[in-house]
Amino acid sequence: MARIVLHEIGMRDGLQIEKRVVPTPEKLAWLAQLIASGVDLIQAGSFVHPDKVPQMADTDALFRDLTKIPAADRPALSGLVLNEKGLDRALACGVEQICMGVSASDTHSRRNTGMGTEEALARIVPMAKRALAAGRPVQVSIQSAFGCGMEGRISEKRVLEIVQTYLDAGLRMVSLADTAGHALPGQVRDLYGAVFGLDSKVQCACHFHDTYGLAMVNTLAALDAGVTYVESAFAGLGGCPFTAATGGNLCTEDFVHFLQRTGRRLDVHLAPIISVASAASAWFGRTLPGTVHRIGPMAPAAPAAR
């Protein structure tokens, strides 16, 4: 059974939609807990214009603080970039994995970036190659891969054409994002199966929003299809501000709890993630979507006998 790689994106995707800005010291306290949990990757922020997303205004400072911690003592650090200037900033402050992507929905792409899908793709590919040349791993994504809140169903053919463009450029770490939360498990298995059919060595990630309550079952379908990288956010925070209806991400502590009850990823510590989720709930003054941080975890499965 392949090892599942946990990519915690709450500090970026989870917070970007929140109007109450979390101060840098509070973010660093939350990040310290996430580091202590033992997840594999943490996405600490995105390199966007601070006037457009004030929550991300301290991203450069966060990375400069985090990279002072020896790499052996923390997870790898990822950051999201949208354009060339953002990539410059990410490279300058030590981001270790660069994330970027395009939307399969032209309508969503224009609302999100001001560019259509083809124009965005023509910019992203050279950026990704530049990041690779700088020695950074690159994950490229396709947003709205399973449907769009404005356009509805997105054709598999369109998604696969974008994947093939990535592969032709030598980009083999690909994330499919269910931005609108429209995916169904059968669709998930079929689309990832088709992606692996293009290149059996591609590394696939999944990113599911829980808009209609299906993030967990869709994630399990992705794992069944051979996906090994899972993106999730503490407390189930998040959502895209540029789609018709927004819902949070797959909840990290709920997913890790599931893995541990089924005997997987027993090396991850749930308590620090639950602590961050509870702190976020207190900070924002409302009940957040996740379940385990509210009612507490069950005991994990005992390790299988050898």
**Which residues are known catalytic residues?**
240
Q: Which of 81, 79, 218, 200 is nearest to 147 (CA)?
A: 218
Q: Please report, in angstroms and rounded to a whole number, the separation of the first and last CA atoms in the chain.
A: 15
Structure tokens at 274: 């639950």
Note whether 255 and 230 are within 8 A (CB): yes
Distance between CA 171 and CA 157 in Å, rounded?
19
- In the DSSP assignment, the letter for residue 148 is B
Note whether 273 and 252 are within 8 A (CB): yes
- Number of helices (H), then strands (E), belonging to the chain: the values are 11, 8
